[in-house]
Chain A
Amino acid sequence: MTELLVFEWRRLRSLRATWVLVGLVVGFALLADLAVGLGNLNQPVDAEGVAFQVVQRDLLIRWLVAAAIGAQAFGHDFRYGTIRPTLLAFPRRGQLLAGKVLAASLLSAAAALAASAVSIALVLALTTWDASLFADPRLWRSIALGTVTTGLVAALAVGLAAVARGSGLPVVLIVLWAGVVEPLTVVGLGGGAAPLLPFLSLVQLTAYAPVSQDLGAPGPLAWVVFPLSLAATLATARLVLPKRDATTS
């Protein structure tokens, strides 16, 4: 598995698209914090405000980038025919899937964490704050879950790309599902439906407080809905990958 992770890291690292996507996450956080911070220069900020700026505000952007990074893991291979050299290097397809999931998730989570670190630094530099906010476990929980959920979205995109054999469709599916289908479902059925919806359940989990997202408190279901969707997607990919010829999309 170490060879596979180094292989994937070198694959990702040697593509400009990877750095553009990571730069997008960090750059967006930087610009948004500068704009907000300069507008509220030296205004007091509490832990909930920090959690909003550092995690919630950019969550969809981070997930979108994570989806793109994850989708490229297989998408590029099928698009450019590099799936053949990849499979010659790692012929066990289940292992290859696992390696790509791990690499894309780690990179996406690292990008989210870097963006959070930049945000915290800027928020603290531009606002007035009390040291006690760092003692608030809900702030750290929000940051940690924001990072983990970004990695999970990347993993979902890897699985979808393995099934779709391309990178476009998985990103479109995730954007449509997270950005259109789920919000419309909540509009129709009310906030109580959120824990049953994969992406909104993640939004609930990452929230500093339930009220901050108007979605209600995350029940126990919120912890399992997305992981179950992810497990089903990866199981399908695991089943489908070995049954297909290594042809380009």
Chain B
Amino acid sequence: MIQARGLTKRFGSTLAVDDLSFPVEPGKVTGLLGPNGAGKSTTLHLMLGLVRGGGRTLFEGRPYRELACPMRVVGAMLEARALHPRRSARNHLRMLAAAARVPDRRVDQVLDEVGLAPVAHRRAGGFSLGMAQRLGLAAALLAEPRALLLDEPANGLDPHGVAWLRQLLRAQAAHGRAVLVSSHLLAEMQLLADHLLVIGRGRLLADEPTDRLLHRSRRQVLVRSPDADRLAQLLVGQGATVKRRGAGELTVSGIDTQTVGELAHQHRLRLYELASRNASLEAAFLELVDGQVDYLQAGAGRP
């Protein structure tokens, strides 16, 4: 069990992580989801004591730096390219194996598990991003830890690699390990994560099971009408939540398309478009992080 409490990090005047508290439960894959610059990586670094900031994270009741053999408790992959380019993959892992008191045969075993056995003696500097990610995963898995913290592990992996990663992480969770994975790949998270932590501008926007988050978006209805203002008033009166998405556009939640259509018909309001939004994590995510995005191109971010 991992418990993060009050994680806070400020870079100058920017509050990168704002009082984040959440648990990461064993036997589940927990996704840490957020747009670029939301504070996902900083959160993982804070949890592991690699950057200084407020709050604390307890791994099995103790901060990371107080663990007797930390690599046996938490396996972390934060940056695939954190390798000496002239050191071989096997030597990189052998070095880490010494820290975790892991025998060399485990190094060969884990290289085989991540598919790097044929290139074990090659210099890591010549690895593609996908291969470097696999080596980073091998390092995280090396000491067979009881928890995994992985920062964007699917980056650089081909579709086969992504499917393999999904299977691997599901299997780790099935063995009772706590798995925390940060990502901005929504479709992948929808398939992988049991539970989601959504952050935007360093703040926790959602902490709930993936199913519930998906269910939330299922109820959304998109409406385009020249009488949008009047319709919005009527919908709010019916208990719906209405968000204006631009001139004449509404996103309505808490009500279905049929009710919206009948309400408009009753009050002789014109509708140009009436659609229920597909149940997707993307829809739920965009709804959540609306206005919480630091780096956004013009016109983006609208569902």
Contact = CB atoms under 8 A, between A and B. Distances in A.
B157 to A, nearest CB: 20
B85 A80 contact: yes
A85 B49 CA distance: 12
Contacts of B99: 3-4, 7, 89-90
A171 B255 CA distance: 70
Given A14-B92, A243-B52, 5 more contacts: A3-B99, A14-B87, A15-B84, A80-B84, A84-B79
Among A16, A82, A244, the one with the most B-chain Cβ atoms within 10 Å of its Cβ is A82
Contacts of A244: 52
Contacts of A131: none
B77 to A, nearest CB: 9
B82 A7 contact: no
A80 B98 contact: no
Given A10-B94, A88-B76, A81 B82 contact: yes
Nearest to B139: A85
A85 B50 contact: no
Contacts of A88: 48, 50, 70-71, 74, 76, 78
Most buried by B among A14, A89, A244: A89
A15 B95 CA distance: 12
B24 to A, nearest CB: 17
8 contacts: A80-B82, A80-B85, A88-B48, A88-B74, A88-B78, A89-B100, A91-B49, A244-B52
B204 to A, nearest CB: 22
Interface in B29-73: 45, 48-52, 64-65, 67, 70-71
A81 B48 CA distance: 16
B82 A82 contact: yes
A66 to B, nearest CB: 21
B81 interface: yes
Interface in B240-255: none
Given A14-B91, A91-B64, A80 B83 contact: yes
B45 A7 contact: no
Contacts of A14: 84, 87-88, 91-92, 94-95
Nearest to B101: A3
Contacts of A9: 98
Nearest to A4: B99
A246 B96 contact: no
B82 A84 contact: yes
A11 interface: yes
B212 interface: no
Nearest to A91: B65
Contacts of B265: none
A6 B94 CA distance: 10
A94 to B, nearest CB: 11
Contacts of A76: 84
Interface string A87-110: 111111000000000000000000
Nearest to A77: B84
The 5 A-B residue pairs with the shortest CB-CB distance, nearest first, are A89-B99, A14-B91, A91-B65, A81-B82, A6-B98
A130 interface: no
Nearest to B96: A89
Of A10, A15, A88, A91, most buried by chain B (CB within 10 Å of CB) is: A88
Contacts of B76: 88
Interface in A8-23: 9-11, 14-16
B70 A81 contact: no
B270 interface: no
Nearest to A81: B82
Given A16-B86, A81-B82, A89-B70, A11 B50 contact: no
Contacts of B87: 14-15
Contact of B81 (A81, A87, A247): A81
Contact of A92 (B51, B65, B94): B65
Contacts of B65: 91-92
A206 to B, nearest CB: 34
Contacts of B101: 3
B85 A84 contact: no
A245 to B, nearest CB: 4
Chain A CB count within 10 A is highest, among B50, B79, B88, for B50
Contacts of B92: 14
A93 B92 CA distance: 20
Contacts of A91: 48-49, 64-65, 67, 70
A3 B64 CA distance: 18
Contacts of B100: 3, 89
Given A14-B87, A91-B65, A246-B45, A85 B98 contact: no
B57 to A, nearest CB: 12
A134 B240 CA distance: 98
Contact of B98 (A10, A15, A247): A10
